[in-house]
Amino acid sequence: MEGSYDIAIVGGGIVGLATARELSMRHASLKVAVFEKEPELAAHQTGHNSGVIHSGIYYKPGSFKAKLCVEGKRMLWQFCEQKEIPYKSVGKLIVATNEAEVTRLQDVYQRGLANDAEAGFQLIGPEQIKEIEPNCVGLQAVHSPKTGIIDYGRVSRAYADDAKGNGAEIFTGAEVEGIRRDGGTNVLSTKRGDFSAKYVVSCAGLYADRVARMTGSEPSPKIVPFRGDYYVMKPGRSDIVKGNIYPVPDPAFPFLGVHFTPRMNGEMWLGPNAVLAFAREGYTFFKVNPRDLAETLSYGGFWKLAAKYPQIGYTEMYRDLSKRAFVAECRRFVPSLTADDVVKGPAGVRAQALDESGAMVDDFVFSGSQGVIHVRNAPSPAATSSMAIGKYISEYAVKEFAIA
Ligand SMILES: Cc1cc2nc3c(=O)[nH]c(=O)nc-3n(C[C@H](O)[C@H](O)[C@H](O)COP(=O)(O)OP(=O)(O)OC[C@H]3O[C@@H](n4cnc5c(N)ncnc54)[C@H](O)[C@@H]3O)c2cc1C
């Protein structure tokens, strides 16, 4: 055995690291270790996202997403002030461009009010939209002045530093390949040898379901990977938009839609779309992982989803392959944008839990049994919510693991 711990955390993304930080801070006497398969931390969703500090507007009041996003953004602001990690409150408009969207926007506004009526949060008309974003058109918009941007990779590394400062150990290049019960403990077989841990917390993102299966947990919900590509505005054109501009989300679809997002380095990104990825870590259209693809295609829930939303599937796939179609979607909000203004940018892959009925699981999902807690669904806004998720899991661990 290479080492023995009280709690092993699988996954060195923002959720695993926030959890390691919180557990090691609250329980100084417990030995905590993080096992990350990549050579670097935050290599997947955490390092490939829009970098938005969400305000908690969209989510069903009372849901984990609503509660943990609002609590998480406040914790994050405070943490960044303490650690001098830069972030910017650039604001956000959620813009309705037709009557159907105006109707849906009222629900978004009401949810925003119910979740956190922040100062300046309001419904505005076309003239006010122009005052905030001179190149943006719309019939009506929700304005959230405090929505921010940040580099979540940097935040994650600061969580890791705190966790290490509290005595936690972090192993990179340590893929967990199997977990078995041995007497009262768990043995984790990793690429760096076997480790034992009384308790396990899995925060494995795109592999959440596979790690769950290693511990004998339910195979469902299954993770289906959805890639999102970004375009980057060329230098000299990025100032046609100042802050975040988002569409009114489709309630049938858990993704927020293609949006304009400023980056901490001064760039302006457009995206992400949402297309089925043929590999869980497939950052291009052509990356195929036969095992990942076979798992998706042999899952009944996937085919039920595909039957429910064929139109969305085709449209997104077309937009993925056609720059003009992608830009046309963005031009609904900023008509002066042209295809020449943007170049292909990076991509991210979302870990989206899908249940057997073909429903995309909307809320965060945590489950625990036999000394293991699993984070089974932590899509957006889990980066914003990360500190609150870490706190929630630590409280869950006190009950589930009976630790003092
Ligand atoms: C395109 C995109 C845009 C997004 N935009 C935003 C946004 O603007 N704001 C926001 O709040 N959220 C956003 N999100 C969501 C956010 O990025 C995720 O919710 C968050 O990063 C999830 O963190 P995580 O730690 O659960 O997952 P990850 O960051 O994916 O980390 C999981 C880690 O587990 C590791 N792992 C997996 N299996 C094993 C194993 N067997 N052994 C060891 N390690 C393993 C992986 O290598 C990985 O590092 C976005 C996501 C995407 C993809």
The domains of the chain, with CATH numbers, are 3-47+153-221+362-400 (3.50.50.60), 92-145 (no CATH), 223-360 (3.30.9)
- Output the CA torsion sign for 43, 49, 55, 58: negative
Q: Which tokens hold the place of 116?
A: 């956190």
How far does residue 267's CA lie from ligand 1's centre (Å)? 22
Nearest CA to ligand 1 atom 3: 49
**Ligand 1 atom 52, closest CA:** 49
Tens-digit pLDDT string for the chain (404 aa) = 999 999 999 999 999 999 999 999 999 999 999 999 999 999 999 999 999 999 999 999 999 999 999 999 999 999 999 999 999 999 999 999 999 999 999 999 999 999 998 889 999 999 999 999 999 999 999 999 999 999 999 999 999 999 999 999 999 999 999 999 998 899 999 999 999 999 999 999 999 999 999 999 998 999 999 999 999 999 888 889 999 999 999 877 767 788 999 999 999 999 998 888 999 999 998 899 999 999 999 999 999 988 887 766 666 666 666 888 889 999 999 999 999 999 999 999 999 999 999 999 999 999 998 899 999 999 999 999 999 999 999 999 999 998 87
Name, in order, each residue with C-beta under 8 angstroms of 201's C-beta and a sequence gap of 6 or more. 7, 8, 9, 10, 16, 19, 23, 372, 373, 374, 375, 393, 397
User: With a 6 A CB cut-off, is 206 part of the ligand 1 pocket?
Assistant: yes
Atom of ligand 1 nearest to the CA of 17: 25
User: How many angstroms does the Cα of residue 298 sit away from the middle of ligand 1?
Assistant: 24
The reply to whether ligand 1 has any atom less than 6 angstroms from the CB of 54 is yes
| Two tokens, residue 8 | 């092993």
Closest CA to 168 of 13, 29, 368: 29
* Nearest CA-CA partner of 224 in 205, 211, 201: 205
Q: The pTM is what?
A: 0.96
> Which of 255, 380, 385, 386 to probe ligand 1 with, by most ligand atoms within 8 A of CB?
380
Does residue 348 have its Cβ closer than 6 Å to ligand 1? yes
Q: Report the nearest atom of ligand 1 relative to the CA of 375.
A: 26
Whose CA is closest to atom 51 on ligand 1? 49
Pocket test for ligand 1, best of 34, 40, 46 (most atoms within 8 A of CB): 46
The response to whether residue 10 sits with its C-beta less than 6 Å from ligand 1 reads yes
CB of residue 33 inside a 6 A radius of ligand 1: no
Q: Say if ligand 1 is within 6 A of residue 20 CB.
A: no
Angstrom distance (rounded) from CA 223 to CA 177: 18
CA-closest residue to ligand 1 atom 41: 176
Q: Is 212 in the pocket of ligand 1 (CB under 6 A)?
A: no
53 lines ligand 1 (CB under 6 A): no
Closest atom, ligand 1, to C-alpha of 211:
41
